[in-house]
Structure 1
Amino acid sequence: MKLSKFVFAALTGIAISAASVSSVYAHDDKYFDSIKSPNGGQTRMAGVYHFELVLAQDSKTAKENPVTVYVTDHGNKGIATKGATATLTLVQGAKKTTVELVPEGENRLVGKATYASTANLKGALTVTMAGKPAEQARFTPFAIVKKSSAKPANKEAEHAHEHKH
């Protein structure tokens, strides 16, 4: 009976340790909103990818504007988008627009969509990298995000370090 209690305790300890380690590798939206994104967009994590959505920030009325998604790994290294497919659905009030994004350059997906740069603009991104399952991320690019007052000296370096395996 003592052996079964020992095994149970050991397995419980391993499970707790695994949960603690996995939380280091996953960031929530609040974390991404507290750091500056490399291209001035909003970053979200889905699976092993970071997706940074960059939209026009000065379009006061709904018109055709560029859409760019940068794809990186957890160390902020670009991931090739060749062969990837993607769609972005933008929702602004009662209006909904879906745009197909195509690979461009090393790690970008691009397209054009009709939208205005307002705080109620939201987006749902679906990306299928070549030979991989689809990943999804949700964005609120123009929502005002409260910045964290406690910032490490170098959050980007801390972030990259956390993801080394």
Structure 2
Amino acid sequence: MKISKFVLTALASVAIGAASVTSVHAHDDKYFDSIKSPNGGQTRMAGVYHFELVLAQDSKTAKENPVTVYVTDHANKGISTKGASASLTLVQGTKKTTVDLVPEGDNRLVGKATYASTANLKGALTVTMAGKPAEQARFTPFALAKKVNAKAADKGNHKEAEHTHEHQH
């Protein structure tokens, strides 16, 4: 009798845990664009990882600027990048550049690339963590700011720019 009660309790715990994991993994690009990323960049999910791409915000012309990618899990806990390799391809208009990123610190990948901080910048990130398969994520790091500013100008209402996320219940 005690064993079956234990088994039922264990199964219920597994079911609750699975439901929790499912809801944690349900983040899409729209969700990430509705929240502030921890380091001021743009966050995307790929596999079991969150990648936050942080670029220079104030580069009006294309020049060599820093690139940083923070790697965390779904609970936003840093994941070691030791032994990882990564590359970021940036496309801006007709210009395309690829930069290799190297591990730095606990959970960062860093490099330098030539880009301007404009809305037409797009990025494709490929990260291979030590002993794991490659994961990819796509970014439009400055497009959201342009969209928010355009909405505010169209509406003539600055509050629209401050309240851009959708409420999900």
CA apart distance, 1:148: 1.2
CA gap 1:21/1:52 in 2 versus in 1, 3 angstroms: closer
* AA at the equivalent of 2:95: K
Equivalent residue, structure 2, for 1:101: 101
2:168 and 2:58 map into 1 onto residues whose CA distance is: 28
CA apart distance, 1:22: 3.3
1:70 and 1:45 map into 2 onto residues whose CA distance is: 12
Report whether the alignment pairs 1:57 with 2:57. yes
Superposed CA deviations along residues 62-89 of structure 1, whole A, max 9, x for unmatched, are 0000000000000000000000000000
Taking only the aligned residue pairs, the percentage that are identical comes to 87
Contact 2:24 / 2:74 at 8 angstroms: preserved in 1?
no
Instruction: Give the structure with the larger helix fraction.
Output: 2
TM-score (normalised: structure 1): 0.77
* AA at the equivalent of 1:101: L
Q: Which runs of 5+ in 2 are unaligned?
A: 1-17, 149-163
The aligned runs of 1:7-156 (5 Å cut-off) are 22=22, 24-144=24-144, 147-150=164-167
CA gap 1:127/1:21 in 2 versus in 1, 3 angstroms: closer
The count of residues paired between Structure 1 and Structure 2 equals: 135
Q: Which runs of 4+ in 1 moved over 6 A?
A: 18-21
Q: Which runs of 5+ in 1 are unaligned?
A: 1-17, 153-165
